[in-house]
Amino acid sequence: MQIRELSIPDSYEITPTQFPDDRGVFFEWYRFDRLAETIGHPLALAQGNSSVSKRGVVRGIHFADVPPSQAKYVTANRGAVLDFVIDIRVGSPTFGEWDSVLLDDVDRRAIYIAEGLGHCFVALTDDATVSYLVTSTFNAEREHGIDPTDPDVGLVFPEAAGDLLLSPKDTAAPGLHEAAASGLLPTWAAARAYYDSLNAKD
């Protein structure tokens, strides 16, 4: 398993080692110890989610209040998605920037997204099946969104996605700077303090 930090601090691409034979393939898609060595603490997993999306579906940009927010470990079990991590932590040196990882059933990569970061993906195939391990259970009152088509964020959706399909909730979400001005976004200081508190427990 190889773990590579992305250009957004506190997010990582995980590439498993696959072991194919005449029966199929075996690989470890999540190792709590390897991830803990990288981020400084083990994940206290609280919920597992799955979504199935047709080509062109965009889910996000989603985030939750810090603390505790919700760290995510995401992979694609079937098909392909382009997964985005967006730095929405006000005061971060990379605020407003993003990076992406192709998650598919070929290389079988995963992405880790720390608390306080924004998350979004676009499905590149029909029946794109994504699984998420998360550190907090869903709480609608603490969950928020940013318009994934906001030009101030500037996500680049590949042509392979075709026509984009967003939920009414995501379409109606505020832009990045509107969300910041309203006090909706987490701060870099609050996120760092929360990461430090998690690391101190171990």
Q: Which residues are catalytic?
A: 62, 132
* Alpha carbons 190 and 148: distance in angstroms, whole number: 24
Peptide bond connecting 39 to the previous residue in cis, omega within 30 degrees of 0? no
Alpha-carbon distances, residue 4 vs 38, 40, 84 (angstroms): 9, 15, 15
CA angle, corner 81, sides to 18 and 153, nearest 5? 130
* Dihedral in degrees, nearest 10, Cα atoms 178, 183, 184, 188: 110
Q: How many residues does the chain have?
A: 202
Rounded to the nearest angstrom, the gap between the alpha carbon of residue 54 and the centroid of all alpha carbons in its chain is: 19
